[in-house]
Amino acid sequence: MLPRPEDILPHRAPFLFVDELLDLVPGERVAATWHLSGDELFFAGHFPGRPTLPGVLMCEAIAQVGAIAVLSDERYHGKLPLFGGLDGARFRRQVGPGDTLVLEAEMTRLSARAGKGTGRALLDGNEAVSCDLMFVIVDADAT
């Protein structure tokens, strides 16, 4: 049985964008879902009359599943991956209320201090966004 996203990620509502894990290979890859109910606050202002999921939030959701891949690897217990960069983001489909995204991330490089990955969000099997992620790994309890 796969863990719940909140058992791995430090994120919490309203900024937890991962609802359910579909597949997980610690330190390598992950697939998950994000169900958009339409009640999310950003839909009211982005855009009135044509609610659209902001692309930057899709990239954040991909980063969150990437963090699940990293944090589920026991080598990174007590650590936190932080965004270091985003490259090659391409937005291909509009996503709105009632849609469900399948989020995928694959780690392409991991070290003790940083990593890289690639990810995408699929809507009805079609790519809505793809991007490359870069992140640094820090102590989770650092002040």
Q: Is the pTM of this model over 0.85?
A: yes
Residue 89 half-sphere exposure, CB side, CA atoms within 13 Å?
14
Going from the C-alpha of 142 to that of each of 78, 79, 139, the distances in angstroms are 10, 9, 5
Q: Where are the domains of the chain?
A: 5-139
C-beta neighbour count of 32 within 10 angstroms: 24
Q: Which residues, other chains included, contact 20 with Cβ-Cβ below 8 Å and sequence gap of 6+?
A: 4, 5, 32, 33
Of 11, 35, 46, 77, which residue is the catalytic one?
A: 46
Query: What CATH fold (topology level) applies to the domain 5-139?
Result: Thiol Ester Dehydrase; Chain A (3.10.129)
* Structure confidence at residue 142 (pLDDT): 67
Whether residue 115 contacts residue 137, with contact meaning beta carbons closer than 8 Å, is answered with yes
Closest CA to 18 of 7, 29, 137, 89: 7
Segment 104-139, tens digit of pLDDT: 999 999 999 999 999 999 999 999 999 999 999 999
pLDDT at 54 over 70: yes
Q: Please tell me the distance from the alpha carbon of residue 134 to that of residue 51, in angstroms, as a whole number.
A: 29
Told to judge if 46 belongs to the known catalytic residues of this protein, a careful annotator would answer: yes
